[in-house]
């Protein structure tokens, strides 16, 4: 296959190299480490300005949460009939964003998709930060987060002297989300160790030698390390794959096991998982486009990587669109008057604006990606990555708010209004997410150095002009 690629310019056009030509192993170390290595004082001013803004927004989050704990959860807009509002919307939104990281690091790894190597590290970091943001909402919705530990986890205690109800999907959610965070963290750190060793070996200051030295655990790249490492990576990828599919399925059970019209459907688990991957890829796209531009990573994050991600956005966006259509069909076909009313109310009721924002952003706009020119245009993909996340936030809001505002009894109908605390808390989590991501990009290698070198070693043969020396690696 490789020899065909190097001889046929048309095939080379279709399968361009993942690491642009002429880059050697040492150049890759230089390129990726050069972002992390300058002294803190030499960091560009624009980095500090952006960090100052996002850190200030994070402080706003701290202020809002303090206010909430000091006053009570009445400062949020949750009330009859909408008892679950922005907090659960934001929770599902952030958990969903996290899914792209695990998909890229685990599922694409099992499918041997080599293009994942340039983007997996930052996507995994994004997963961790998104799950942290997600966890804030249910934790603070308890009102007393320091006691929530006993309420959420099965720990013997004298605080409440009772146990969780394992028949409830809410406790399943606790297990799913906390496992998801732990496994993502371990997976991410395992992948980081060889790269931390590279940073350790290049370190010039004592503090860097100590910090990277301790974090890299004494890794020396021995063949006896790599065999365990590769086996472990495969196992972690293998168990993360069903895990990532289970997490959003379990999140959707919170809704699907209830009897509320619009929630009580069996399509929810696959529909939620597709939506999660859709929004997660869009978020990875936003962050990568900014990183690629500001850190000059065009040789490593090529148009081909971005185009492949856009194809996944198109596929998952279309699955989401299919799920919307399916919900409407079942609402009509079931003959259940409450179900029918809920969906008519969703599209044409008081929340029509939210519903149509969601249809437009999630279903119609991504269809532009059928056109190759659109898939490969940086501005188009930047805008679509943002509209997608706006659309996916609205999806969760629409599902939650429209079903709760108008259920079985018209006397108990209502309308949900968020408070300023709701809005500032959500804004604050965006600040926290961006702050953590900026710190990550500055102090840890954003691209998996050892994995990109591995891909480079394959491509050296596949794209070398002239006769092949050593047995060639596969292109894909």
Partner 1 sequence: MAHEETAGLSAPTPLDLLKEKVGLGPDKVYAVMGDFAEPEQLVEAGRKVRSLGYTKLDAMSPFPVHGIDEALGIPRSKIGWIVIFAAVLGILTAQVLIYYVGVINYPLVIGGKPLFDFTFTIPPTFELTVLFSSICTFLFTWVLSGLPRLYHPSLNYKKALAASDDRFILVIESDDPKFDPQQTAADLAGVGAENVEVVEG
Backbone angles phi, psi at 204, to 5 degrees: -110, -25
Least Cβ distance, residue 284 to partner 1 (angstroms): 22
Q: Which is nearer to partner 1, 232 or 325 (CB)?
A: 232
Q: Are 234 and 218 in contact (CB under 8 A)?
A: no
- Are the C-beta atoms of 235 and 378 separated by less than 8 Å? no
Do residues 73 and 144 touch, judged by C-beta distance below 8 A?
A: no
Q: Least distance in Å: CB of 29 to partner 1? A: 5
Query: Count residues contacting partner 1 (CB under 8 A)?
Result: 65
What does DSSP assign to residue 204?
A: -
Interatomic CA distance for residues 443 and 33, integer angstroms:
10
In whole angstroms, how close is the CB of 1 to partner 1 at the nearest point?
A: 17
Of 171 and 365, the one with the shorter C-beta distance to partner 1 is 171
Among 165, 204, 206, 411, binds partner 1 (CB under 8 A): 165
Q: Which two tokens stand for residue 239?
A: 């168990």
- CA proximity to 297, closest of 130, 449, 112: 449
Interface pick for partner 1 out of 325, 457, 468, 476 (rule CB under 8 A):
457
Instruction: Compose the 116-155 pattern: x for residues touching partner 1 by CB under 8 A, - for all others.
Output: --------------------------------------x-
Among 393, 450, 462, 475, binds partner 1 (CB under 8 A): 450
Contact between 224 and partner 1 per CB under 8 A? yes
Of 407, 406, 475, residue with least CA distance to 2: 475
Name which position in 38, 44, 221, 414 contacts partner 1 (CB under 8 A): 221
CB of 71: closest distance to partner 1 in angstroms?
Answer: 32
Rounded distance between C-alpha atoms, residue 317 and residue 279, angstroms? 9
Q: Is residue 443 a contact point for partner 1 (CB under 8 A)?
A: no
Closest CA to 239 of 168, 312, 173, 190: 190
Figure out which of the listed residues 225, 264, 340, 464 binds partner 1, where binding follows CB under 8 A. 225
Q: Check: CB of residue 300 under 8 Å from CB of residue 447.
A: yes
Query: Residue 165 class from Cβ within 10 Å (0-12 exposed, 13-18 middle, 19+ buried)?
Result: exposed
In the list 123, 277, 323, 449, the residue contacting partner 1 (rule: CB under 8 A) is 449
Residues 180-209 that bind partner 1 (CB under 8 A): 182-183, 186-187, 189-190, 194, 197-198, 200-202
Stretch that binds partner 1, among 297-305, 339-347, 358-366, 466-474 (CB under 8 A): 466-474
Is residue 110 near partner 1 by the rule CB under 8 A?
no
Return the number of the residue (62 or 221) whose C-beta is nearest partner 1.
Answer: 221
- CA–CA separation, 150 and 164 (whole Å): 9
Q: Which residues of 406-425 are buried (b: 16+ CB within 10 A; e: fewer)?
A: bbeeeeeeeebebbebbebb
Q: Provide the token pair at 322.
A: 């299919």
Instruction: Please identify, among the stretches 21-29, 62-70, 267-275, 285-293, the one whose residues bind partner 1 according to the rule CB under 8 A.
Output: 21-29
239 scored as a contact of partner 1 (CB under 8 A): yes
Residue 167 or 373: the one with the smaller Cβ distance to partner 1 is 167
CB of 9 to partner 1, least distance (A): 26
Tokens representing residue 38 in the block: 């300058």
* 278-316 burial: b if 16+ Cβ within 10 Å, else e: bbbbbbbbbbbbebbeebebebbbbebbbbbbbebbbbb
Read off φ and ψ for residue 433, nearest 5 degrees: -60, -50
* Residue from the set 67, 150, 151, 226 that interacts with partner 1 by CB under 8 A: 226
Provide the minimum distance between the beta carbon of 134 and partner 1 in the complex, in angstroms, as a whole number.
16
Q: Please give the C-alpha separations between residue 55 and each of 59, 226, 230, 438, in angstroms, as whole numbers.
A: 6, 39, 37, 10
Query: Please, which of residues 244-273 interact with partner 1 by CB under 8 A?
Result: 246, 250, 253
Contact positions vs partner 1 (CB under 8 A): 24-26, 29, 154, 162-167, 169, 171-172, 175-176, 179, 182-183, 186-187, 189-190, 194, 197-198, 200-202, 213-214, 217-232, 235-236, 239-240, 242-243, 246, 250, 253, 449-451, 453-454, 457, 469-471
């Amino acid at each position: 296959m490789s020899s065909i690629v190097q001889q046929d310019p048309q095939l080379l056009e279709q399968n361009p190299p993942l690491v642009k030509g002429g880059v050697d192993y040492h150049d890759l170390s230089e390129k990726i480490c050069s972002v992390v290595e300058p002294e803190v004082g030499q960091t560009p001013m624009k980095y500090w300005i952006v960090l100052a803004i996002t850190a200030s927004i994070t402080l706003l989050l701290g202020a809002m949460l303090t206010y909430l704990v000091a006053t009570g959860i009445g400062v949020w807009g949750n009330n009859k009939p909408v008892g679950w509002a922005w907090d659960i919307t934001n929770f599902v939104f952030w958990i969903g964003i996290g899914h792209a990281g695990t998909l890229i690091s685990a599922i694409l790894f099992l499918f041997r998709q080599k293009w994942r190597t340039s983007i997996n590290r930052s996507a995994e970091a994004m997963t961790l930060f998104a799950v942290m943001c997600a966890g804030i909402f249910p934790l603070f919705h308890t009102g007393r987060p320091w006691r929530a530990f006993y309420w959420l986890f099965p720990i013997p205690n004298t605080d409440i002297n009772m146990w969780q109800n394992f028949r409830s999907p809410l406790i399943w959610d606790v297990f799913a989300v906390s496992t998801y965070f732990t496994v993502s963290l371990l997976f991410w750190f395992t992948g980081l160790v060889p790269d931390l060793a590279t940073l350790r070996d290049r370190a010039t200051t004592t503090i860097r030698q100590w910090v990277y030295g301790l974090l890299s655990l004494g890794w020396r790249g021995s063949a006896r390390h790599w065999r365990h490492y590769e086996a472990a990576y495969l196992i972690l990828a293998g168990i993360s794959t069903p895990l990532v599919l289970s997490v959003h399925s379990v999140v959707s059970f919170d809704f699907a096991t209830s009897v509320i019209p619009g929630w009580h459907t069996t399509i929810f688990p696959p529909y939620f998982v597709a939506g999660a991957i859709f929004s997660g890829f869009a978020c990875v796209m936003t962050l990568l486009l900014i990183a690629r531009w500001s850190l000059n990573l065009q040789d490593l994050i090529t148009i081909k990587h971005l185009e492949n991600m856009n194809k996944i956005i198109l596929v998952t966006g279309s699955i989401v669109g299919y799920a919307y259509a399916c919900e409407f069909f079942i609402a009509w076909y079931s003959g259940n008057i409450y179900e029918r009313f809920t969906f008519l109310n969703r599209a044409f009721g008081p929340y029509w604006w939210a519903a149509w924002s969601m249809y437009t952003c999630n279903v119609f706009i991504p269809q532009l990606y059928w056109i190759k020119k659109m898939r490969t245009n940086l501005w188009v993909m930047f805008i679509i990555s943002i509209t997608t996340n706006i659309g996916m936030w609205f999806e969760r809001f629409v599902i939650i708010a429209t079903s709760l505002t108008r259920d079985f009894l018209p006397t108990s109908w209502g309308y949900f209004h968020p408070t300023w605390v709701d809005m500032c808390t959500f804004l604050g989590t965006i600040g926290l997410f961006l702050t953590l991501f900026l710190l990550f990009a500055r102090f840890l290698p954003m691209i998996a150095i050892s994995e990109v070198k591995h891909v480079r070693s394959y491509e050296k043969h596949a794209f070398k002009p002239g006769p092949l020396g050593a047995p060639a690696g596969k292109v894909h």
